[in-house]
Structure 1
Amino acid sequence: MSDVKETQKSEASFFKAMKAVFWSFLGIRKKVDYEQDAAKLNPIHVVIAGLIGALIFIGTLVLIVKQVVAK
């Protein structure tokens, strides 16, 4: 039973890290939110979320460039 709770807690914190990274990419973070994230989030989750966010960003740019050049 505790394994299920740990897994749910881990998943929830990873999604919180994804949310924090998304808002950070946009550059609209409140100082209070940043301080809460710095205190609560797992640094490994933040790094992984940042890499995923960067890959999504680069992939989106590549797709946009391909669409513009193809026309």
Structure 2
Amino acid sequence: MSAKRTFGETLTAVAWSFVGLRRKRDFDRDVGAFNPFLVLAAALIGVALFVGLLLAAVRLATG
């Protein structure tokens, strides 16, 4: 059993997953180490940031 991951490590893993650059080795190492609630929280933060950036880009582009 691997050690549990911190929220910062979870945020980093989710961020790399959003970009699509998560290594298989890291995924295999972390599969059982993440707290599902922290992964969900990190994913919601990532989605909120992504939507916010899209809205800001649209506002900037449309004036």
Asked if Structure 1 and Structure 2 have the same fold, meaning a TM-score greater than 0.5 normalized by the shorter chain, the answer is: yes
Query: Where does the alignment leave 5 or more consecutive residues of structure 2 unmatched?
Result: none
CA distance in 2, matches of 1:43, 1:15: 14
> Deviation at 1:17?
0.7
Q: CA offsets per residue over residues 34-61 of structure 1, 9 Å max, x none?
A: 1112121111100000000000000000
Question: Shift in Å at residue 25 of structure 1?
Answer: 0.3
- Correspondence for 2:13: 20
4+ residue runs over 6 A deviation? none
CA–CA distance in 1 between the matches of 2:21 and 2:60?
A: 29
Higher Cα radius of gyration: 1
With normalisation by structure 2, the TM-score equals: 0.88
Within the alignment, does 1:46 sit opposite 2:39 as a pair? yes
Q: Which has the higher helix share?
A: 1
TM-score, length of structure 1 as denominator length: 0.79
Gapped regions of structure 1 (runs ≥ 5): 1-9
